[in-house]
Amino acid sequence: ISSHAVSCSPQDLLLAAAFVSDAQYNRNIPFKTSPEAVRLYRLYNHWVMRRATYFFIFLNLSLALFEEPAVYPLPFLATSVLEVLCLLVFLGRLIHFAKVTLHNVFWKDTKNICIVVAILLSLTDLAVYGVLRLYGVRSIRWSRIVRPVFLINFAESRQIRRAFRSIRNTLPEITYVFLLFMFSLLMFSLMALKLFGERNLQTAEGLPYFRNYLEIVFDLYVLVTTANSPDVMMPAFDFSSWYALFFIAFVIVNTYIFMSLFLAVVYNNYKKHLKNEIRKLAYMKRRKMVEAFNLLKEQEGEQFVVKEAQWKQLVKLVAPDTSSSHRELLLRISDDEQKGFVDKKSFVQLADLLNIQVVTLRIRRHPLARWAPALYGSAPSRLLRGAVRHRAFVWTYDAIILINAIFIALDEESPYISYAEWVFLALYIIEILLKVYTYEPREFFGKTQFWNWFDTLIIFAALTATILNATLQSTMKYNSQQILDIVFILRVLRLIRIVDSIQRFQVIMNTLINIVPTMLTFGGLTLVVYCVFAIIGMELFHGKIQYFPANSNAPHALECGNPALKDSLFARGRYCKNNFNDFASSFIVLMELTVVNQWHDIPCGPAKLYFIAFHIVMVIIIVKYVFWDDFLSFFVEYSLEKSEVETAIEQKIQELGMGVQEDELQQEQLLDNMESVEHELEGEGGMKAQSKGLVFKIASKRYRTVDALLQRMFEAEIPLEDEGPSFEEILNLSPSSAVPRSPSSESAA
């Protein structure tokens, strides 16, 4: 059947691989198709290049730690050399990108222009600051606030950029809700002024209560965040119980109802923009797969197909680190009837197939079984391995952990208890050794064996720290506080293991792991906002508040070095260390503001505006992320249940008899299962399909974001014949236009 015809050139194969790889990772970069550009493009997308870019982005962001006002001061020359280095790397990355993309596309893309402008601004500012510094003039390093631009705009952080775009899209509508909210706030403040302003009431601190309109507005804004909840009400409530109704109405309207409204508006907007954006991505993916197919296609009877050999070369190029057995599995799915070629319909699915994590469980013999088969297979050894596999082994160690917990809770003073610590450490190490002896080590430390890694790391870190501590103590009669603290923390962390042995908790932990990708995007956004606000805060409030140790004799030590703070709640609460004197402190203050409570005890006027701005930005991000993207994904998953491609793979795995029960398999079960397969092998001498020494398992549905789910949902709606509009059309799609052409006109092609 297979006839090695003229076939395609290596260049075509490389180009096709670039298309498929883009489709797989949902990149929508229209690269040049010359052989040189394709090679450069593959280099551009190489993981080393991408990791390096991230490294320099974070290096650039963390420079703020070492620049004045510094946590760890470095000379100006050192930081500026580092900064120039980072900027050069960014410039290089951008030039690399320009080389592979079409010119008109490159200069149309705002993110490239943003990067160029940011690099120019940073260099100019650095030069001006350096020159002024030589002449002894101190100026402001204002360009530092553009540094997060690199994090947002480098193509690798697509998620964060999309989040920003989507927030920007939501802004106009949010603004109207915000105006309505401000109107409501001003109205309530006016009422409060009329009701309480002339009563001569006093706060608990003896200050005048609700006299000045602007102060009322601020107090009530703080009440919306609930930070000053009963305090702001008490004077009026003491005067007459009925006035409590005013505050209750205020909280219901401005906190609860407006929050709901806000969520509703964000959601409506989400609905409006997301669907089209997803549609664009889906069309782009389909288009790229079709282009790749057209490059590799050969005529076979009446249809065009891709030959098996070509297909395998392509997959090897796109995903070089998949095992050959994995490739074989994918081929068996794509070429269902083993005809030696892959048709268009199956080919188009390749990007999705590659995206499904198939865990290849190699059934390998234990290294000891190979090196010392007699010893490893002896009766005592088998008994030992049987004992370790027994449920009672897990229970024994659960009991040991519980006893350990009691010992930790007891006092440290008695020498017996510190000896017990050594006993426990020894027991845990023995457990790990026994498990490694029983299970195949490479499986035990497999990529997905989170808990095994966790246990081993914790135990060995604890061992190292304890030994280090004991050595220091006995030889130098000196207790290092840092090491002791680490020993304490590691000792307590060990107890987490108990969670792993309870079935129900494991399921919950899996749910938790599902939330990770959203959390990462959320973390990225937060980082950007924190960096910008921390740098602004440092410029505005640096040195305004100082921290003195408790027994300091400095003037105004009790007022944080600022006479204006005398008798303020801020000083009385001993908040002096909450200041903007360096980057790390600023981050901690912003963290406290994110948590919201007590943020209003801040004295001066402009600071209020700064804090309100930060609060509004964080609320928008939290609402957008923690609520929508995260929990919508559950709902979308509900309407999607299981994607078709995934089911096809599972079916094939089962058909080939290489399946391990899918999904939420317990680690123990999995290992047991493997063991039983191994026994079977030993017994039957490898006659079955399992003889290949392979078992496949589809990784549980981790790392699913709403975007991915919605995209799949939409892809299911595109008929297979529909190749989507051309690249130019897709790129020019306005976010508000629906499907660019009617699918019916397309399906005729």
- In the region spanning residues 455 to 494, those forming contacts with a second copy, defined by CB under 8 A, are 485, 488-489, 491-493
Q: Smaller CB distance to a second copy: residue 574 or 679?
A: 574
Amino acid at 617: V
Considering the complex, what minimum distance in angstroms separates the CB of residue 165 from a second copy?
21
| Three-class DSSP category at 698 | strand
Considering the complex, what minimum distance in angstroms separates the CB of residue 86 from a second copy?
26
Q: Smaller CB distance to a second copy: residue 174 or 330?
A: 174
CA 714 – CA 311 distance, rounded (Å): 27
Residues 25, 54, 55, 256: which binds a second copy (CB under 8 A)?
A: 256
Q: Tell me the two tokens of residue 134.
A: 């030589």
Query: Which of positions 200-219 make contact with a second copy (CB under 8 A)?
Result: 204, 213
Residues 114, 116, 195, 468: which binds a second copy (CB under 8 A)?
A: 195
Q: What is the DSSP secondary-structure string of 420-478?
A: HHHHHHHHHHHHHHHHHHHS-HHHHT-TT-HHHHHHHHHHHHHHHHHHHHHHHHHHH--
CA 616 – CA 178 distance, rounded (Å): 10
Residues 65, 121, 251, 558: which binds a second copy (CB under 8 A)?
A: 251
What are the distances in angstroms from CA 27 to CA 52, 186, 338, 713? Answer: 19, 47, 32, 18
Considering the complex, what minimum distance in angstroms separates the CB of residue 468 from a second copy?
18
Burial of 9 per CB tally in 10 Å (0-12, 13-18, 19+)? exposed
Q: Smaller CB distance to a second copy: residue 265 or 670?
A: 265
Query: Which of positions 427-446 make contact with a second copy (CB under 8 A)?
Result: none
Is 506 one of the binding residues for a second copy (CB under 8 A)? no
Q: Smaller CB distance to a second copy: residue 438 or 711?
A: 711
Is 554 one of the binding residues for a second copy (CB under 8 A)? no
Amino acid at 160: I
Residues 271, 442, 566, 741: which binds a second copy (CB under 8 A)?
A: 271
Please list, in sequence order, all residues whose beta carbon lies within 8 angstroms of the beta carbon of residue 615, skipping any fewer than 6 positions away.
225, 593, 596, 599
Contact 577/560 with Cβ under 8 angstroms? no
Q: Smaller CB distance to a second copy: residue 379 or 409?
A: 409
The region of 10-18, 28-36, 190-198, 423-431 touching a second copy under the rule CB under 8 A is: 190-198
Is 661 one of the binding residues for a second copy (CB under 8 A)? no
Q: Which of 471, 464, 466, 400 is nearest to 430 (CA)?
A: 400
Query: Which of positions 591-620 make contact with a second copy (CB under 8 A)?
Result: 591-592, 595-598
Residues 110, 241, 475, 744: which binds a second copy (CB under 8 A)?
A: 241
The region of 42-50, 309-317, 441-449, 569-577 touching a second copy under the rule CB under 8 A is: 569-577
The region of 226-234, 365-373, 379-387, 721-729 touching a second copy under the rule CB under 8 A is: 226-234
Is 634 one of the binding residues for a second copy (CB under 8 A)? yes
Number of C-beta neighbours around residue 267 at 10 A: 16
Query: Which of positions 101-130 make contact with a second copy (CB under 8 A)?
Result: none
Is 584 one of the binding residues for a second copy (CB under 8 A)? yes
Q: Smaller CB distance to a second copy: residue 101 or 643?
A: 643
Residues 76, 453, 547, 727: which binds a second copy (CB under 8 A)?
A: 547
Give CA 495 to chain center in angstroms. Answer: 26
Considering the complex, what minimum distance in angstroms separates the CB of residue 578 from a second copy?
6
Phi, psi of 298 (to 5 degrees): -135, 155
Q: Smaller CB distance to a second copy: residue 91 or 259?
A: 259
Phi, psi of 358 (to 5 degrees): -110, 120
Residues 54, 183, 395, 422: which binds a second copy (CB under 8 A)?
A: 183
Q: Which of 90, 79, 80, 81 is nearest to 56 (CA)?
A: 90
What are the distances in angstroms from CA 9 to CA 14, 38, 310, 641? Answer: 9, 14, 10, 41
Residues 70, 123, 128, 191: which binds a second copy (CB under 8 A)?
A: 191
